[in-house]
Amino acid sequence: MNTGLKNILIYSTGILILIFLISFRALRISERKVSGIQIEILNNQDFYLIDKFEIQTLFEMGNSASVLGANFDQVDIKLLETQVEENPFVAEIDVFINVNGVLGANVSPAQPIGRLMSSQGSDQYIDVTGKLLPMNPDYTVRVPLISLMKEGQWTTHLGENDFGKQLMKFLLFIDNNDMWKAQIAQLSVSEDDELTLWPQVTKQLILFGQPEEIEEKFKKLMLFYKEVLPKKGWNTYSYVNLKYKNQIVCK
């Protein structure tokens, strides 16, 4: 046998052995079963709109058999992710099977930053992306309440009009500032899209005006709290007006 033919036979045999080993391993893996389910909800808030039990229930939707105990090749990870992400209270999920056969899931829940009050139907949450979410009868989130003179401006998302985009910037500013997040309990929106804020602690209504120049207006409000109220008295004024540039008007 010449050297070239010998090398071809060795190479071919090696390939066949490799294919066999891969196929055997794939078969062994496909026969392994899901030994457990471990769900982690990645939440830095002090509330939950969905829990681990509900996530596991969503896994079972549309499946004829339980995920737990199923063969690996019977588990459609993409389908599981899609089923869970169809729930409005789930922002994102990553499903995987670890080396021990445990089906794991890291769940990022929706993060409400406001609650739209309705006089005609159910209230809705606004999440951190501007998406409108239904209420959850089992969980209530402490976020600023929002009443509108013009209801029904949005169907699914605040980004549907310019005012909604401005309101989102305002709500995100509040949500990202620990003091204002704790202080602003409620806001109302007038016919001409001006905001009035109800604080949690002090008694003065805050006439904010349009949701623009947000940072500058809150700097003026902080000045009012630090410089004006301690000198004039906490019950002296019934409202503070931030609408005018470089001015704080109190009455």
Q: Count CB-CB contacts under 10 A for residue 75.
A: 17
Q: Are 145 and 188 in contact (CB under 8 A)?
A: no
Q: What is the pLDDT of residues 76-121, one digit of tens each?
A: 889 899 999 999 999 999 999 888 889 999 999 999 999 999 988 8
In whole angstroms, what is the distance from residue 44 CA to residue 128 CA?
13
Note whether 167 and 158 are within 8 A (CB): yes
Using CA atoms, how far apart are residues 71 and 82, in angstroms rounded to an integer? 20
**Which range has the top average pLDDT, 11-15, 140-144, 170-174?**
170-174
Residue of 196, 246, 244, 248 whose CA lies nearest to 226: 248
State yes or no: pLDDT of 166 exceeds 80: yes
> Which domains can be identified in the chain, with CATH numbers?
36-109 (3.10.20.310), 112-250 (3.40.50.11690)
pLDDT confidence band for 241 (50 / 70 / 90): very high
Neighbours of 71 (CB within 10 A): 13
How many CA atoms does the CB half-sphere of 176 hold within 13 Å?
A: 10
pLDDT of residue 24: 36
Q: Between 8 and 146, where is the model more confident?
A: 146
Burial of 79 (0-12, 13-18, 19+ CB in 10 A): middle
CB burial of residue 50 (10 Å; 0-12, 13-18, 19+): buried
Task: Share the mean pLDDT of the chain.
Answer: 85
Summarize pLDDT for 35-82 with one digit per residue, the tens: 889 999 988 777 778 989 999 888 887 664 578 878 878 888 898 999
Contact 50, 42 (CB under 8 A): no
* Residue range 131-162, pLDDT digits in tens: 999 998 888 889 999 999 999 899 999 999 99
What's the burial of 5, exposed, middle or buried (CB within 10 Å: 0-12/13-18/19+)? exposed
